[in-house]
Amino acid sequence: MAQALDKRSVVAVIGSGAMGSGIAQVAAVAGHTVRLFDTRPEAVDKAIAGIAKALARLVEKGRMGAAEADLARERVHAMRSLDEAKDAALVVEAVVEDLDVKRALFADLEGIVGPDCILATNTSSISVTAIGAKLQRPERLVGMHFFNPVPLMALVEVISGVATDKAAADTVYATAAAWGKNPVHAKSTPGFIVNRVARPYYAEALRLLLEQAADPATIDAVMRDCGGFRMGPFELMDLIGHDVNYSVTQSVFHAYYGDPRFAPSVVQQELVNAGFLGRKTGRGFYRYGDDVAMPQAQAEPAQQGAAQATLGGVDLVTAALKARLGAAEGAATIFLTDGRSATQRALDEGRPDTILFDLLLDPAKATRIALARADQCSDAAWNAAVGLFQQAGFTVTRLDDVPGMAVMRTVAMLANEALDAVNQGVCSAAAVDIAMQKGVNYPRGPLAWADSIGLHHVFTVLANLGAAYGEDRYRVSPLLRRKLAANPEGARIHVR
C-alpha cells in the first residue's frame, strides 16, 4: 500500500488563484512546507494574506488553535521563480484551463524538479493524458482535482492518464487522504467522475422547464424538499454561472462525440446569449438584488374534509409511504412514477383516475410531495388525493404530466450514468458514490439510491422514458441490464 508523502517534504503550488491558494492552505495545515508561485508576484502576496485571514477565521470559530494556525501560515512561502521548486516532492498546478499553457508549464518543471518529484494537475476538464503526452516522463503526471472551496470540500479526484504510473497515483491518493480529504481514483476520461455523472442533474431539469412541467422555483423546491438535494438545479446553475455550466456541458458533449445523453439545452444557451449568467450578473433563472423577492413554489390549496384515495404499487418507496399515510382507499389510484406519464398509465391500465407521485428521499420525513394527474382524472379524484397527502403533513405541489416527473427521472439518469462510468472502468462503484456525495453534496450516492429504489424500478423508468421520447439519451446501461439478468428479483449494486 502506497504511503503518503512525508510531512517534511516540500509541496509547490503553481497558480495563486482561489484553487491554488486553497490547495496551498490545505497542504500547509497538513504540515508541509509550501511554496506558492504565480507569474504575478503581487498575486502571490495577496494569496498568502488571504490564507492568513482564512486561518484566523478558523481560530475565531474554534476550529483551529491559534498556535496551529500560526505554524500553518509560517509554512507558506512565496516563490519568485519556478527554480525554487527544485526540491519539491510534489508540484500541483492550478493555472488557467488551457492545454498549451499547462504543457509548457510542466515541460519547464521537468527541467527543474528532481527525478522522484510527482507532478500533479488540478485540471477539471482537460485530459491528463493529453497534458502529459509531450513530457519526457509522462508516467509521473497525475490529476489531482480539488473542488472549490478547497479547504471545505472533501473530494479529490485522483486521475490517471494512459501513461500515469500506478505508484504515483497511489502516492497522491494517500497524500490527499493524509490531508483530510476523501480521494477517489478515476481514469482520465471526459468529465472524470463528477462533471460527467452530474450532467443529468442539470439536463433533466432544463428539459422539464422546456416542456413546461413547472416553473424553476417549483422544480427547485421539489428537488430540495422531495429529493433532499441541498440546492435545486436552477439555483445551482445560477450560482455556478451559466457561461461556466454551459461550457462544461458543451465540452463533455463534444468529447463524447455528440452523445445525446450530454446534449446542451437551448434554454441555457438563450440565457448565455442574453448575458443572463446568474448571480454574478444579477439575473439568470432568477433575478437577484436587495429589493427582489424570490418566487414561491407552487402549492395546491388546502382540501377540506376527510380524503380517501388508494395508494397502489408494491415498490420500496410506496411501502415506506404507506406507513405514513395508512390504508386509505378511494376513487383515485396513486402510484410512484415509473417513467410513463399519468395519462399514458391511465390508458394502459384502464384507470382514468390515475395520479402519480414523485420519488421521495425519505417518505417518513419529507415535507413536500409532487403529484401529477392524468388528463382523464376527475377533479374529485384529484382533490381527494391532494387532501390525503395534506392530512399526512405534506405540502402538495402539482407538476404537469411529463414522463418520469422530476426527482425520479433525474435520479434514474444519475444512477444510469454512474453505472456506465463503472462499466467503462472510469472508477469503482464505491468511488462514484463518494464522489457525488463529497464533490457535489448529493444526499445519497446515485448507486446506493438506485439500490434503495430497486434496480428493476430504475430500469423500468429508463425504459419508459426511452419509449416516451424515442431517444437514445435514455438508453439503459449495460451494467444495469447485467445486474438484472443475474438476479431479476433481488438485483443490487452493493456499493461498499
Question: What does the pLDDT look like over 48-65, one tens digit per residue?
Answer: 999 999 999 999 999 999
Percent of the chain with pLDDT over 90: 91
Would you say residue 358 has pLDDT above 90?
A: yes
Out of 3.90.700.10, 3.40.50.720, 3.40.50.10130, 3.40.440.10, select the CATH number for domain 10-188: 3.40.50.720
Contact between residue 413 and residue 339 where contact means Cβ atoms under 8 Å apart: no
Sheet holding 155-160, edge to edge: 76-79, 33-37, 10-14, 88-93, 118-121, 141-146, 155-160, 182-187
DSSP state of 279: G
- Max CA-CA distance within the chain? 80
Query: 136 or 305: which carries more pLDDT confidence?
Result: 136
Active site residue 124: yes
The amino acid at 21: S
Confidence at residue 495, expressed as pLDDT on a 0 to 100 scale? 60
pLDDT of residue 331: 72
pLDDT for residue 125 = 87
Tens of pLDDT, residue by residue over 80-95, are: 999 999 999 999 999 9
Q: At what angle do helices 233-240 and 216-225 cross, to 10 degrees?
A: 110
**Residue 306 pLDDT class (50, 70, 90 cuts):** low
pLDDT of 307 higher than 70: no
- The confidence score (pLDDT) of residue 273 equals 97
The single residue of 21, 32, 93, 145 carrying the catalytic annotation is 145
Name the catalytic one among 16, 160, 195, 477. 195
Mean pLDDT of the chain: 95
196-281 shares the fold of 10-188: no
Closest by CA to 10, choosing from 93, 73, 91, is 91
| Sequence ranges of the domains in the chain | 10-188, 196-281, 309-398
User: CATH: 3.40.50.620, 1.10.1040.50, 3.40.50.80, 2.60.120.10. Which one for 196-281?
Assistant: 1.10.1040.50
145 in active site: yes
Query: Average pLDDT in the 158-171 region?
Result: 98
CA-to-CA distance for 161 and 140, rounded, in angstroms?
10
Top CATH class of 309-398 equals alpha beta
As a whole-number percent, the residues of the chain with pLDDT over 70 amount to: 98
Write the Ramachandran bin of 78: left for phi over 0, alpha for psi from -120 to 50, otherwise beta: beta
* Catalytically annotated residue among 124, 245, 251, 383: 124
In this prediction, residues 395-420 reach a mean pLDDT of 98
Between CA 88 and CA 24 the distance in angstroms is 13
CA distances from 281 to 2, 220, 291, 376, 422 (A): 46, 20, 15, 44, 38
What's the average model confidence in pLDDT over 153-170?
A: 98
pTM: 0.95
Examine the pLDDT at 289 and tell me if it is beyond 80: yes
* Nearby residues of 72 by Cβ (< 8 Å), 6 or more positions away: 25, 28, 29, 55
pLDDT tens-place string over residues 110-130: 999 999 999 999 999 899 999
Return the C-alpha cell found at 140. 509521473
Predicted local distance difference test score (pLDDT) of residue 2: 86
Region 482-495: mean pLDDT is: 84
Angle between helices 18-29 and 41-60 (to 10 degrees): 50
Mean pLDDT to the nearest integer, 463-475: 97
- Whether 9 is catalytic is no
Give mean pLDDT, residues 394-401: 98
User: Which one is catalytic: 77, 93, 127, 157?
Assistant: 157
Does residue 350 surpass a pLDDT of 70?
A: yes
Q: Is 383 one of the catalytic residues? A: no
